[in-house]
Structure 1
């Protein structure tokens, strides 16, 4: 007796219980998790089972690798320090920034977040500096807070930073995680020249131009929203 298969079209993403179950079963089968042979139609009872989807296996490998990395990273002792600057606490802002900054920019941003940066406070701790003092402010430790917010040797770059960021210039979270804040920070660090030997050029004319273009695009979006609001009124 011939087997009869009936197909019915249903709209996708409509929470149809049968459709959702079929979709889940199809995903499992694509990953190689098939039903017992005796429960399958004869046409699908090949000795090697249902062919595995290469695309599905790649997706699974990517997903498993990402999960393994995430699990390893979240168990790291540096994770809490790194993510305390994130609103969601999981490094989501940093991930978005990663594709928009150069390697040396990402490197110093990571080191500033974890306080493992080549300043005397950290260098003294790992026995790479005679003391932890700031070379410009005797008796005061040269750590991230001091360089960003207080060191008297960087008054001019800090004034530029305050002009760019306003009151947020005193917010480490803004400077170390916000898209605009990070760019203002990089300009400030470049102006101090404190990290030039280790990280090279942290801010260039190209960076400044890109920031202006992004700012212009945001202004256009804001004006567009304002015009739409006026039309609705």
Structure 2
């Protein structure tokens, strides 16, 4: 284990990205991302770390007046727009989530499976994100074959 990996393993972000049950080796995560477009890798790493253009993070860095999901707030149900909310809970993306679940099965209900999965799983996650259009301002259009 090199110096950087040892330092990273002691950081709070490591525990958020890799819960204590079965942390994958960093080399495994890097190997999964090899060959994917840079835009996709950036999205996946930002989803893993929680440092992404969703209101919970933007509010934390003082770029959004509220941490709540705009869609849910408009319907009178204020919930923080976290990665978990975006991927699993927000009713606005119910249709997109259903399409992803059709392809991935039960794996679509697991954050670890989605963010640390194989390339096919990551591809479906990218498709989901592209279909929602929620992160279009940050990442632009996703080129999906």
TM-score (norm 2): 0.85
Residue number in structure 1 paired with 2:100: 161
Counterpart Cα distance in 2 of 1:110 and 1:84? 15
Deviation at 1:203, TM superposition (A): 4.2
Residue number in structure 1 paired with 2:138: 198
RMSD between aligned alpha carbons? 2.0
Deviation at 1:133, TM superposition (A): 1.1
Q: CA separation of 1:121/1:88 partners in 2, compared to 1, >3 Å: closer, same or farther?
A: closer
Does residue 99 of structure 1 match 2:34?
A: yes
Deviation at 1:86, TM superposition (A): 8.3
Residue number in structure 2 paired with 1:134: 69
TM-score (norm 1): 0.55
Q: CA separation of 1:112/1:75 partners in 2, compared to 1, >3 Å: closer, same or farther?
A: same
Counterpart Cα distance in 2 of 1:127 and 1:142? 14
Counterpart Cα distance in 1 of 2:69 and 2:83? 11
Counterpart Cα distance in 2 of 1:178 and 1:203? 20
Counterpart Cα distance in 2 of 1:86 and 1:111? 21
Q: What secondary structure is seen at the aligned counterpart in 1 of 2:71?
A: coil
Deviation at 1:124, TM superposition (A): 0.8
Residue number in structure 2 paired with 1:68: 3
For structure 1, list consecutive stretches of 5 or more residues without a partner in the other structure: 1-65, 206-233
- The aligned runs of 1:25-64 (5 Å cut-off) are none
Instruction: Report how many aligned residue pairs link the two structures.
Output: 140
Q: What secondary structure is seen at the aligned counterpart in 1 of 2:12?
A: coil
Counterpart Cα distance in 2 of 1:78 and 1:170? 22
Q: Which has the higher mean CA deviation after the structures are superposed, 196-205 or 87-96?
A: 87-96
Larger RCO, structure (CA 8 Å, separation 6 or more)? 2
Deviation at 1:75, TM superposition (A): 3.5
For structure 2, list consecutive stretches of 5 or more residues without a partner in the other structure: none
Residue number in structure 2 paired with 1:28: none
Counterpart Cα distance in 2 of 1:197 and 1:107? 14
Q: CA separation of 1:85/1:173 partners in 2, compared to 1, >3 Å: closer, same or farther?
A: farther
Residue number in structure 1 paired with 2:53: 118
- The aligned runs of 1:72-87 (5 Å cut-off) are 72-84=7-19, 87=22
Counterpart Cα distance in 1 of 2:142 and 2:3? 32
Q: CA separation of 1:76/1:112 partners in 2, compared to 1, >3 Å: closer, same or farther?
A: same
Counterpart Cα distance in 1 of 2:20 and 2:107? 14
